[in-house]
Amino acid sequence: MKDILTAPFVREMGETTANMYRLGWDERNGGNISYMLDKDEAAEYLDLGRVLRTIPTGFDAAPLAGRLFIVTGTGKYFKNVQKDPETNLGVIRIAQDGTTAELLWGYADGGRFTSELPAHLMSHMARLSVDPENRVVMHSHPTHTLAMNYVHELDERKFTHTLWEMCTECIVVFPDGVGVLPWMLCGTNAIGQATAEKMKEYRLVIWGMHGIYGAGRTMDETFGLIETVEKAAQIYMLTCGRPRLNTIRDDQLRELAEAFGVDYRRDFLDPERGQAKAGQQAANQQG
């Protein structure tokens, strides 16, 4: 058996949580990550026949029975994952009943998985139903994205459109747009179900006045999605409240999406709106 501390999936969890902490996105115990593991790869590091404890999940994840996940622990700080993975992370397997997690490694201080496990596992189920290669679900509190929640309408079409306008790459990176949920109580099955419903359509979901969820096939893809939204939100927050002299027009967004061959949310582009903005810019420039 190889040393699990050298496993690529443990290393990736450590590196990603450290990056997110240093970017200021995950203060204290903010944020959580779940990463579905390949059974054969996990078996190189773990005895899959040895269950350390079982922990009820409080909801039914039967479609994930037998699947393995490495998951950040509840109350644990992203700041500390890399220096003590065995306390801050756990590897769980969803038992055949769908409502029990079998702990195979980690949570060494008697802890358990993140309180947001419902949102994570329900999002995994939703993403897998549309993309069988999805592996990662990530939740974070990126500063500018959160700031933008307070000054921008929480409407998914308008929110996505504004982000797309902020950096040329945005429509190429997340052509499917950003889903938006209103403020809801976190840590519940209800917010889990609402997130999963959005995840059937979007790889990114804003939790109003709380943070963001991302989903993807790899850690890099998922991190990159959130990172790109956060960059766009930062540009928005640096420029909002000032006269806007220039923008990326809708016809240019369309040109980008078509040049890169991405399947974008056409209904999130609005030529009339784009022209109205361009007209206003011209007026601003003259004024």
Tell me the catalytic residues: 116
Amino acid letter, 9: F
Q: CB nearer to ligand 2HA: give 85 or 274.
A: 85
Residue for token digits 């995994």?
Answer: 124
Signed CA dihedral, 177, 178, 179, 182: sign only:
negative
Residue 28 CB, nearest distance to Zn ion (Å)? 10
Residues near 104 by beta carbon (within 8 Å), at least 6 away in sequence: 42, 46, 47, 48, 50, 51, 52, 68, 91, 92, 93
Query: Which one of the spans 10-18, 62-70, 161-169, 210-218 is the region binding Zn ion (CB under 5 A)?
Result: 210-218
Residue 75 CB, nearest distance to ligand 2HA (Å)? 8
Q: CB nearer to ligand 2HA: give 14 or 211.
A: 211
Residue 211 CB, nearest distance to ligand 2HA (Å)? 6
Decide: helix, strand or coil at residue 271. Answer: helix
Q: CB nearer to ligand 2HA: give 116 or 227.
A: 116
- Contacting residues toward ligand 2HA, per CB under 6 A: 29-32, 114-116, 139, 186
Residues near 82 by beta carbon (within 8 Å), at least 6 away in sequence: 14, 15, 17, 18
32 binds, among ligand 2HA, Zn ion, none (CB under 5 to 8 A by kind): ligand 2HA
Which residue is nearest to ligand 2HA, using beta carbons? Answer: 186
What's phi and psi for 196, nearest 5 deg?
Answer: -65, -35
Binding site for Zn ion (CB under 5 A): 211
